[in-house]
Structure 1
């Protein structure tokens, strides 16, 4: 007989979960002990929200459930930020919280709250593990997390249950997520009719494409029919940035210029578009019909026309669309290069001082094509959204459904754990850096060579821009005083301060060549944010 804790670890192994990111407590010690010597590695973090972020990245990069673990009470509340990220960014995660033993259920006890009520709004399912039912509960948890749309499942793990021995047999654990529904082939005929009757059909892609495994089919479809494409932030890389019909990213820097090109649109063909990133209503006119090709029905306000939806496996649907005879339209594709140049020029204004776009262009030039960029949330994210060439799918990680500051540092560490052979760099504002700087200790302790680039401009720049546009006082946005003196290291990670582009280039090159984590404080002039965002 084995303990329930050992059974849970076995199910994680079989589900393809290689790491559990978390923080120890008295009530989860038995669970952690069960991982020792197993194929599931416990990764100690410095704060539980980071455990959630790291589990998220594991899930989105592997397609297997990520896993995170906290103790009860404040540990559980801390972890909700990372778990919420997986919920709105659509990532399979198993979130374990330790709990007091059954004898304390319903009693007033230090640190004890109702974890299931806490996690219910940010998970697909929340459940307490039960004696004799661990295999079926874990089976349902894995299947629920992986089913479209994927997301986190919360599992409360009482201390005494973890210790209990069980006679359960592992034959009960064989998770099989429900398949996507079969789409009606006749619906493709309706899509074809709508495309042929449109003069200016526009393709819009979103984050669901990242898990569709259909990049080749998508590119073949839009190239065959020469259709212009807009993308959301998280779907960057599905369409090549250069030499394609990419118009730009909706909802990011200089979105007005992006909109200038697609203004004539009279039909939107949405492929894997998830409004959690940017709602249709924020950029599609009400008189423009929307076709939804997706794994789930469309979420759009009343009054919009949705003449056709094709729900199912996006790759299979695109294979059908590729077979269509060429669609004729009236887009002026010869004007697209000039449009892209206008957008690029607007994103790279002439600046006397070292500015964010200087650093980003230098990074793109130096980082290998298979390098992974992890972006935090802030003013810089808007520029990255339009300016950064991902050079392929899977090379860019960002939080945009949940849109959480503090994501980049733990996310970059997890990305390097999953893909140790690829260079990984994170770009974070000084606000997001201060939130999760403690996780640099994890990178140092585990000897994970990530280059952390901090855009130091002393302010919460995105909020400062918004205050200025509303003619509010600049108030509550200054993070660092003018006399701030940088450190030479954070928890053993070397800090390099770069005030000019050449200094930055040299530091970034050296960081990528190194075998240890490094922090580059890029002292940037944020004034370009005022005109770019």
Structure 2
């Protein structure tokens, strides 16, 4: 067994079904190992999009997504996707080819120092070594999934990737989340937990993305909210952990209607942060209410001060609380319903009658495909998707809100459709982000990944253009030349259509068969005036 075969066997043993990548010379033994070991290899159009596909794989499955690049420019091209997984807390194993070890100390052509390149954006980076490959692979897998999860980078020198690795048995480390051990911490002078909760009359639960990784967290959070009779707010990447059709759901933080949501958070007299990771915050933390921190990791970021911390498996911590906490909240159903109504009205602010507005795309797609898994790119549209899309289940809304990297949503949607072939998958993207990665439509068509791609077409980098307008500056360097998106899509084996009205969009979606295997690209030409009113 050579090193590549052993690496692939470790990946297979960990339940990983495919590798996304763009190979080079040092990758040849690895590709052959994938072929021999029946590991699917998905050839992306570039290393960066392969990394985004691997991130989406990790977001949906909880297992490390694996991406591959060659040496030199291949490894540097993969940096953005690895950094995205790092700040989005997604398990990943990124593998890069490298020049042979004999020349590595002095050769310069296509040689980059992978340790210096990847150390700041990974949990661990290492080069493989035949005699210690078992240890390296166990550490890579364990490190990637351990709280907080993130990427690991492995270099595979050309003279080692095919070297003999022996016939040692593949033995995995523990990869599942911990199921017990709870620790409690409190600042000096803090009340005990029961006293703190008895004193709370206006508690709010804030659910964060770490709850996605906690088995049973959604059901436990629902029990807690119903026991306390208090509203639940979600972070963007945690959408769906708490069913957003539930009457206690009160909106998404730091998306559209931002001021209204922060005013609501500031009305609390106790905030219960469950798995909330400050990496998602766009605005600084402003509430003055004391915070109860519940997470698998201590509150070491200190983005907010928590007077009480309960650290351990999230669902078990909550279940241990539910039957002992008093239901002392004074929130009424009518009050929470009124907030939801105000939030909905604020979400629709700025709509132009008779035009196709950005929020219309979210609402029409949501009505036509309510159970879809969606991916969202970065830009003004993401803020409306984050607030307006009604998520009913965990891991059904995929976005990057840690690094917030444009170009994410299309490759993520392709990976999602591979993992969830029976489910509708919708990609929401701006025309700027779409232009960065539109070549992957060819891959989507080849894979028969029948995703629906909704492109918000306004020929603008709107988030930046709005900031120029706020400073009374003209648009400069933020306008995008118009592209015939349907023709571009059709040239790559997809179905393409342009819509300019709500009725046209509704008709296109009504005619879409649920078992379609040809990707559908909808160029939705929107009136961006709503963005100005919203942001």
Number of residue pairs aligned between Structure 1 and Structure 2: 525
Residue 229 (structure 2) aligns with:
226
Residue 175 of structure 1 corresponds to which residue in structure 2? 173
Write out per-residue CA displacement over residues 328-350 of structure 1, whole angstroms, 9 at most, x where no aligned residue.
12334422212211211121244
Alignment of 1:65-144 (within 5 A): 65-144=64-143
State the TM-score, normalizing by the size of structure 2: 0.94
| Alignment of 1:50 onto 2:53 | no
How far the C-alpha of 1:510 sits from its partner, in A, is: 3.3
Unaligned ranges ≥5, structure 2: none
Q: Which residue of 2 aligns with 1:431?
A: 432
**1:317 matched to which residue of 2?**
317
Tell me by how many angstroms 1:167 deviates: 2.0
Deviations 1:101-130 (A, max 9, x none): 111111223211111210101110000000
Give secondary structure in 1 for the equivalent of 2:116. helix
Q: Find the residue that maps to 1:160 and give its secondary structure.
A: coil
Q: Distance in 2 between matches of 1:405 and 1:478?
A: 16
Partner of 1:196: 198
**Cα drift, residue 32 of structure 1:** 0.7
Post-superposition shift, 1:259? 2.9
Give yes or no for contact 2:293–2:299 (8 Å, CA) kept in 1: yes
Note the residue ranges of structure 1 that are not aligned, 5 or more in a row: none
| SS of structure 1 residue aligned to 2:306 | coil
User: Cα 1:323–1:410, aligned 2, differ >3 Å: closer, same or farther?
Assistant: same
Indicate the SS of the match to 1:36. helix
Whole-angstrom CA distance in 1 between matches of 2:58 and 2:389: 24
2:210 maps to which residue? 208
2:183 and 2:150 map into 1 onto residues whose CA distance is 27
Q: Which residue of 2 aligns with 1:420?
A: 421
Q: Determine the structure 1 residue equivalent to 2:21.
A: 22
- The secondary structure found in structure 2 opposite 1:34 is helix
CA displacement 1:63-99 (0-9 Å, x = unmatched):
2111000000111011111111111111111100001
Residues of 1 paired with 2:2 and 2:225: CA distance? 54
1:100 to 1:341, Cα distance in 2 relative to 1, 3 A: same
Distance (whole Å) between structure 2 residues aligned to residue 261 and residue 22 of structure 1: 44
Deviation of 1:506 (Å) = 1.8
Shift of 1:495: 1.2
In structure 1, how many angstroms separate the alpha carbons of the residues matched to 2:59 and 2:359? 28
Q: 184-193 or 331-340: which moved more?
A: 184-193
- CA separation in 2, counterparts of 1:104 and 1:186? 52
Distance 1:39 1:114, change over 3 A: same
Displacement of 1:311 in angstroms is 0.7
Residue 179 of structure 1 deviates from its aligned partner by: 6.0
Query: Which region of structure 1 is more displaced relative to structure 2, 415-424 or 335-344?
Result: 335-344
C-alpha distance in 2, partners of 1:184/1:120? Answer: 30
Deviation of the 1:260 alpha carbon: 3.3
Residue in 2 that maps onto 1:278: 281
TM-score by length of 1: 0.94
Deviates more, 1:198-207 or 1:371-380: 198-207
Q: Would you say the 8 A contact 1:288–1:305 is kept in 2?
A: no
CA distance in 2, matches of 1:87, 1:262: 28
Q: Do the aligned residues in 1 keep the contact of 2:82 with 2:94 (CA within 8 Å)?
A: yes
Cα shift at 1:166: 2.8
Q: How does 1:381-460 map to 2 (within 5 A)?
A: 381-460=382-461
